[in-house]
């Protein structure tokens, strides 16, 4: 028996096999993952480095000699440092030592100042006597390298002095009084002239009327406090003021006391006149009444030197000043200059 396969069947079988192959070939292949490398840095790029830094220390307060700064115990010191260059976000540290031991440490941010510089500020009050050492530090950061200021020293003191004493204490007192406008020598010796300046300072500030410099006097002088405040302080005006209530005479220039003197006015039975006057006559030397270097401002009323100048009103109406001060005052008063006499 012969097997007969029709041509149609052959064609169907061939078509089926080719269709399956086509189906297999049509399935897409998996796409591989490709990582793109980061682009290389530009050839001129440089790594960021912290900037170098330096600082200059300044201390304000008290009175400084060539060797040391002196401040009244409990007084506030202002401590500043100029930092160059300024870098944002930096912090500096103040370290205060006494007898080698750290007694205070403060942190503060460096603030922008002028011309590319920075500034950092601190305050410190010494509570105990002794010598202190201060320094400002900055630790290295990503923005700026480490730096530190020079160390500065100061001494916290409680002082007093009277006639006959010599030394640094007296020199500090005299320098402070002179800076405030009181007529005093600056010699380091507590003489009668220094005593008169302390008396004028005490009278100006409503304290007991003596020539002794107590701790309270020293504290005010070291702080730069206690200056005579003019009542007539127009800029550029040169004049004289006598405050009857405080019994002090002040020579004023440019709104500030140039020199302030102990003085004594008329007693109750022969009072001093009050008002605004002008100097109209000078009488050099000593006259028959014992008046020395007289400067008259109305009728027979004058500023003049005299042998007796108590701390209270005692004259016949004139404004007495100590004879050693009379020539100083006479040299500074001009004819036509104004004097204000008030309570």
The enclosing domain of 98 has a CATH number of 2.60.40.10
What are the pLDDT digits (tens) for 23-47? 444 445 555 555 556 566 566 656 6
Angle 192-204/323-332 helices, nearest 10 degrees? 70
- Report if residue 44 sits inside a domain: no
Using CA atoms, how far apart are residues 260 and 177, in angstroms rounded to an integer?
10
Instruction: Check whether residue 308 and residue 283 sit in a common domain.
Output: yes
Instruction: Check whether residue 210 and residue 261 sit in a common domain.
Output: no
Instruction: Check whether residue 258 and residue 323 sit in a common domain.
Output: yes
Instruction: Check whether residue 65 and residue 120 sit in a common domain.
Output: yes
Among the listed ranges 36-45, 109-118, 186-195, which one has the minimum average pLDDT value? 36-45
Using CA atoms, how far apart are residues 96 and 61, in angstroms rounded to an integer?
16
Report the domain count for the chain: 3
- Report if residue 274 sits inside a domain: yes
Instruction: Check whether residue 199 and residue 292 sit in a common domain.
Output: no
- Report if residue 273 sits inside a domain: yes
Instruction: Check whether residue 215 and residue 242 sit in a common domain.
Output: no
Q: Strands (DSSP E) along 61-127, which ranges?
A: 63-64, 69-72, 77-84, 91-98, 101-109, 111-112, 118-124
Using CA atoms, how far apart are residues 143 and 149, in angstroms rounded to an integer?
19
Query: Coil, strand, or helix at residue 232?
Result: coil
pLDDT of 171: 97
- Report if residue 14 sits inside a domain: no
- Report if residue 192 sits inside a domain: yes
Q: Say whether pTM exceeds 0.75.
A: yes
Instruction: Check whether residue 216 and residue 247 sit in a common domain.
Output: no
135, 157, 179 - which closes a domain = 157
Q: How many CB atoms lie within 10 A of CB 244?
A: 17
Q: Which residues constitute the domain of residue 251?
A: 238-342
114, 137, 157 - which closes a domain = 157
pLDDT over 70 (residue 308): yes
- Report if residue 243 sits inside a domain: yes
Among the listed ranges 40-49, 190-199, 285-294, 324-333, which one has the minimum average pLDDT value? 40-49
- Report if residue 87 sits inside a domain: yes
What is the average pLDDT across 163-172?
Answer: 97
What is the average pLDDT across 166-175?
Answer: 97
pLDDT of 26: 45
Instruction: Check whether residue 206 and residue 182 sit in a common domain.
Output: yes
Domain with residue 247: its CATH number is 2.40.440.10
Instruction: Check whether residue 274 and residue 207 sit in a common domain.
Output: no
Name which of 119, 57, 222, 20 is nearest 201 in CA terms.
222
Q: Quick one: pLDDT band at residue 2, thresholds 50, 70, 90?
A: very low
Name which of 86, 154, 152 is nearest 120 in CA terms.
86
- Report if residue 30 sits inside a domain: no
133, 157, 181 - which closes a domain = 157
Instruction: Check whether residue 309 and residue 215 sit in a common domain.
Output: no
Instruction: Check whether residue 85 and residue 135 sit in a common domain.
Output: yes
């Amino acid at each position: 028996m012969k097997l007969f396969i029709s041509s149609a069947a052959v064609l169907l079988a061939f078509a089926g096999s080719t269709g399956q192959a086509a189906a297999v070939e049509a399935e897409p292949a998996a796409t591989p993952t490709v990582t793109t490398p980061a682009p290389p840095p530009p050839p001129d790029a440089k790594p960021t480095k912290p900037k170098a830094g330096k600082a200059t220390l300044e201390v304000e307060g008290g009175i400084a000699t060539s060797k040391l700064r002196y401040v009244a115990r409990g007084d506030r010191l202002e401590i500043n440092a100029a930092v160059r260059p300024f870098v944002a976000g930096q912090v500096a540290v103040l370290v205060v030592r006494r007898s080698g031991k750290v007694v205070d440490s403060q942190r503060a941010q460096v603030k922008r100042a002028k011309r590319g510089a920075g500034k950092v500020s601190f305050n410190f009050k010494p509570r105990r006597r002794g010598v202190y050492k201060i320094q400002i530090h900055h630790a290295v950061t990503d923005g700026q390298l480490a730096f530190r200021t020079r160390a500065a020293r100061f001494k916290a003191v409680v002082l007093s002095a009277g006639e006959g004493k010599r030394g640094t204490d007296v020199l500090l007192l005299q320098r402070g009084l002179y800076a405030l406008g009181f007529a005093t020598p600056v010699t380091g010796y507590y003489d009668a002239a220094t005593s008169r300046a302390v008396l004028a300072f005490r009278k100006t500030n409503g304290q007991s009327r003596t020539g002794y410099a107590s701790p309270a006097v020293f504290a005010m002088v070291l702080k730069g406090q206690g200056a005579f405040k003019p009542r007539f302080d127009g800029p550029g005006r040169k004049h004289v003021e006598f405050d009857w209530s405080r019994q002090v005479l002040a020579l004023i220039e440019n709104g500030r006391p140039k020199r302030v003197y102990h003085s004594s006015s008329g007693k109750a039975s022969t009072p001093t006149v009050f008002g605004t006057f002008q100097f109209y006559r000078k009488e050099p030397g000593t006259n028959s009444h014992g008046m020395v270097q007289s400067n008259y401002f109305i009728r027979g009323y004058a500023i003049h030197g005299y042998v007796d100048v108590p701390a209270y009103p005692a004259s016949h109406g004139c404004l007495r000043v100590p004879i050693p001060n009379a020539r100083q005052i006479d040299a500074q008063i001009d004819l036509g200059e104004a004097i204000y006499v008030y309570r």
